[in-house]
Amino acid sequence: MPGFGRKDYQHDLVMEMLYRDLGDARTLPQHRKAFIPTKGNVFWIGDFSGQEIGIMAAASEEKLWIDTMLRGDDVHSLTASLLYQQDWEDGYAKGCTFPKKCSCPKHRTPRERAKILNFMLAYGGGAPRFSKATGLPSLESKITIARYKRIIPNLSKYLERMGRNAQNTGESYSADPYRRRRVLEGERMVTQGKNNPIQAAGANMLKLAAISIPDKYYCPLEIHDEIILDIPRAQGREACAMLKSVMEKSADYITGIKGLIRVKPRIAMNIMKE
């Protein structure tokens, strides 16, 4: 169930044109509103905050990210502040909440580029893909990626090592205590070797949480990193506490770091994020 589609430079340009032409008629995709709770019930939805980032940080022992997440700060903003130091310094606006995620207009672009890199390199992307996602020239993209690898060294080395191991052995394992094995084949083994440990650990995290939910709570759906309960309103307080506890204990077990990945359940009448 996709949310609002991908976020990249070209996509943003197209959406800006559409919104300019549509004016007040513009709308966000509405398909998630089709999922509603049983009559008289509500949804309690829990999702793992920073799931993939947390798994990458724990697996690679990237201390910068681990410390940032344990403080409750924003990894993408911190990465951007190191990657684009001068631009970040010049971009401070009144009321800036950095190192939490801020709303400074001039911090938005550096943070978005850092966020793209934080995820993209784990999925086998390089300078051409970064150029396409940001609109930056090829040379500048290469320089930015080289600078990023110096700033985030443990993760960069971990991803390269996982890619080489996959190419040499044709196998990949989840980055968690279960060590779930995946046999690889074809031309994308290096890319799969980089992202499989992270994706597989994320899947294991969700599965562990889902089977740990007491039978008294009806769980009709899991989507990506979300668990959805369909329950009477009267059970809301206890269900919220249970869902947070179960999901965070699952995250602690998978990453091996207590409190790295957090969950803040929300109440809803459909599964659209608004």
pLDDT tens across 71-106, in order?
A: 999 999 999 999 999 999 999 999 999 999 999 999
Q: Tens of pLDDT along 46-75?
A: 999 999 999 999 999 999 999 999 999 999
Instruction: Looking at the structure, tell me whether residues 185 and 52 fall in a common domain.
Output: yes
- 1 is a domain residue: no
Q: What is the pLDDT of residue 26?
A: 59
193 and 269 in one domain?
yes
Same domain, 208 and 229: yes
Q: What is the mean pLDDT of the segment spanning 162-171?
A: 96
- Whether residues 41 and 105 fall in one domain: no
Quick check: is 185 in a domain?
A: yes
In a domain, 214, yes or no: yes
Examine the fold and report which residue of 92, 117, 151 is the final residue of a domain before the chain moves on.
Answer: 151
C-alpha dihedral (129, 135, 140, 145), degrees to nearest 10: -40
Same domain for 132 and 74, yes or no, is yes
- Mark whether 199 and 138 lie in a shared domain: no
**What does the pLDDT look like over 192-223, one tens digit per residue?**
999 999 999 999 999 999 999 999 999 998 98
pLDDT score at 3: 47
Average pLDDT over residues 228-247: 95
Whole-number percent of the chain with pLDDT over 90: 79
Neighbours of 92 (CB within 10 A): 13
pLDDT tier for residue 273 given thresholds of 50, 70 and 90: confident
Structural domain span for residue 260: 31-62+174-274
pLDDT of 28 > 70? The answer is no
Same structural domain, 58 and 179: yes
Q: Is residue 72 a part of any domain in this protein? A: yes
Positive/negative CA dihedral, 227, 232, 236, 241: negative
State the pTM of this model.
0.88
Mean pLDDT of 5-28: 67
Angle between helices 138-151 and 105-120 (to 10 degrees): 80
Q: Are residues 179 and 52 in the same domain?
A: yes
Q: Which of 88, 117, 151 is the last residue of a domain?
A: 151
The whole-number pLDDT of residue 38 equals: 94
Residues 179, 266 share a domain: yes
Count H helices and E strands in the chain, helices first.
11, 7
**58 and 68, same domain (yes or no):** no
Interatomic CA distance for residues 95 and 90, integer angstroms: 14
Number of domains within the chain: 2
Report how far residue 163's alpha carbon sits from residue 191's, in angstroms, rounded to the nearest whole number: 6
Mean pLDDT over 234-263 rounds to 96
One domain, residues 185 and 49: yes
Per-residue model confidence as pLDDT tens digits over 134-143: 999 999 999 9
- Quick one: 209 and 146 in the same domain? no
Question: How do residues 109-142 score in pLDDT, each as one tens digit?
Answer: 999 999 999 999 888 889 999 998 899 999 999 9
pLDDT band of residue 22 (cuts 50, 70, 90) is low
What confidence tens digit (pLDDT) does each residue in 147-157 have?
999 999 999 99
